[in-house]
Structure 1
Amino acid sequence: MSGGYSHYGFHPDYLSNPSGLSYDTTEPSAPSALVGRRKSSSSTDSSSRSPSMSGTVKLQGYGAVSNEIAGCWQHCNVSGPFPPNMVRAGIDCDGEVIYVGRAFHEGDMVPAKVIPTKNVAFVCHGGEEVLKEDFEVLRYGAFVWEYASNGSVPETAMKIGQTTDGEPLYMGRAIYSGSQTPGKVHPSHGCCYLPFDGAEVSVTDYEVLCVR
């Protein structure tokens, strides 16, 4: 794999096990509903969520997150094969499962949505949904999705990537147009961007991938 993985301190097949973090050997089960959970309550519809939630913090200097890398990242190509035990991120409009990924684009390491059954991976950048042929997928791990909004992330949010300016990027997801679509939480922009149908869609209420 060429390019800047080592430049950012990210390495394909690198396994980091922060203290107290356990790793499962099986893929997390599919969500029973498209909407995930708040940190302090059971599953709920996104329309009833308050924009101010306990357990979330507004990043100050982008230094609020301690778990920078968790899980095993494995390099993949759209032509496959795809490894087992990938971490699920959402469900596409047609019911196909979407997985957690990341890829380089114009110098940024960007959270990506990976759909193995369609042999595609997408990031969003500059208002567009961009197809990536080379990327990494997240495998194993003990993770949970927590509600956040307006560019904030929970304290246990997992850093997925970063911009060329050094700002951390996180994996978010939201319900959009009949799908549960993952994208990138860009704190300084105050939102989560979703790659969807060729565009970069901005949402202010979303869930964030966190270390359990």
Structure 2
Amino acid sequence: MVSNWEPGTFYGQGSVVNYEGSQYKIIQPHSSQSDWTPPVTPALWGKIPGGGHCDNQNPGYNQGYQQTGYQQQQPYQQPQQQQWQPPAPGPENAYAGGQHPDQKIHIKPEEQKQNWYDLDDKRKQELKIGGGLLAGAAALGAGMFAYKQHEKNEEEKNSLAWGLQNWLAEARNRADDFQRNGPRGPATWVLTQGRSIPPHAIVVGKEKSWTLYISRAFQDSGIQLGKASDVFKKGAVIGYKNDEIHLDSYEILVGDMRGLTWVSMHGRFNHNALNGKRPVEGGRENDGTPLYIAKAPHKGAEHPGKASEKLEGAFIPYDGTEKCVKDYQVLCYL
């Protein structure tokens, strides 16, 4: 019997799952994450033509969290100051939280889950003419999340703009849900801007006199992990291809360490070394490779970074580049 796709599950070679009425077969073994559903990760899952109907819907991250027993034992108490709101975007990132004012064409939710290259030429043209790419293009034009944009052709730039604005829309939805309903578990990604650090952002450590938090952001068609602090010139720093990239619109990890733990790791990330624990949702490379939240010691401090099955250790952004640390820890649910 084919089971329903679920987040926080390791899928190995030969796995087949149901998701929203369709069946998908594994392409690349990985640990599933809540926002990496089969339809939006074609590098990880291949849709089976004519797949059977799935009667039971995916139970979702929130239900899985409730089943852990953590919520019954130590319920998360939402503090009064949780009414924090991210600051209004400045002119350089005015479209980080919503639709471009000149957009005249409606983008369907299911389209936002598609890769730009999966859209037909007619729809691409409609999106370009009707302003469906203006939000992402404006952000890229301002340098936000752009990586060596000058080296890319027009179609690659369109793909980046499409991916960027869809990530921004998803991040805004997550932040809005957090503001309305509070945390969905002991760890929640919240969209923020600049040096505005929301209450209960998870602390990784201290570097000199400042505090380091966990951040992530869209970069070159992937979602990269890094660090945030209210002393950084833009607020967040991510590492990518041996560069340290400063960003002022990003997600920061908010949570409660009573429901989380750090698990030691050496070298490449190994799911079996987690002793049955489930890693917290991290990011992904632009080829779909999952990235996991890591912290690693360097120069007398603990630094947030990333780990994966393809990296030789934890990579942390530091001093204009990335440093590889072989002994590190991965953030997991209890």
TM-score w.r.t. the length of structure 2 is 0.44
- Whole-angstrom distance in 1 between the partners of 2:329 and 2:235: 23
- Whole-angstrom distance in 1 between the partners of 2:191 and 2:285: 20
Match of 2:325 in 1: 203
2:277 is equivalent to residue 151 of structure 1:
no
Q: Judging by fraction of residues, say which structure has more helix.
A: 2
Contact 1:73 1:136 in 2 (8 A): yes
Residues 23-82 of structure 1: CA deviation (Å, up to 9, x unaligned): 63489xxxxxxxxxxxxxxxxxxxxxxxxxxxxxxxxxxxxxxxxx962211011143x3
1:188 CA displacement: 1.0
1:170 CA displacement: 0.6
Matched-pair identity in %: 23
Change (3 A) 1:185 1:16: same
- Whole-angstrom distance in 1 between the partners of 2:221 and 2:186: 22
- Whole-angstrom distance in 1 between the partners of 2:302 and 2:284: 23
Change (3 A) 1:181 1:26: farther
Residues 170-205 of structure 1: CA deviation (Å, up to 9, x unaligned): 111111012211101122123110100111101111
Runs (4+) off by over 3 Å: 7-10, 21-27
Match of 2:152 in 1: none
Match of 2:250 in 1: 135
2:301 is equivalent to residue 179 of structure 1:
yes
Instruction: Give the structure, 1 or 2, with the largest relative contact order (CA under 8 Å, sep 6 or more).
Output: 1
Residue type of the partner of 1:206? Y
Counterpart of 1:164 (choices 268, 281, 286) is 286
Match of 2:173 in 1: none
Unaligned 5+ segments in structure 2 are: 1-34, 41-59, 80-184
Residue type of the partner of 1:108? G
- CA root-mean-square deviation: 2.7
Aligned length: 160
Residues 89-118 of structure 1: CA deviation (Å, up to 9, x unaligned): 2221x1311112211111111112111244
2:223 is equivalent to residue 109 of structure 1:
yes
Aligned-partner SS, 1:159: coil
Larger Rg: 2
Q: Judging by fraction of residues, say which structure has more strand.
A: 1
TM-score w.r.t. the length of structure 1 is 0.67
Matches within 5 A, 1:40-119: 71-80=187-196, 82-92=197-207, 94-118=208-232
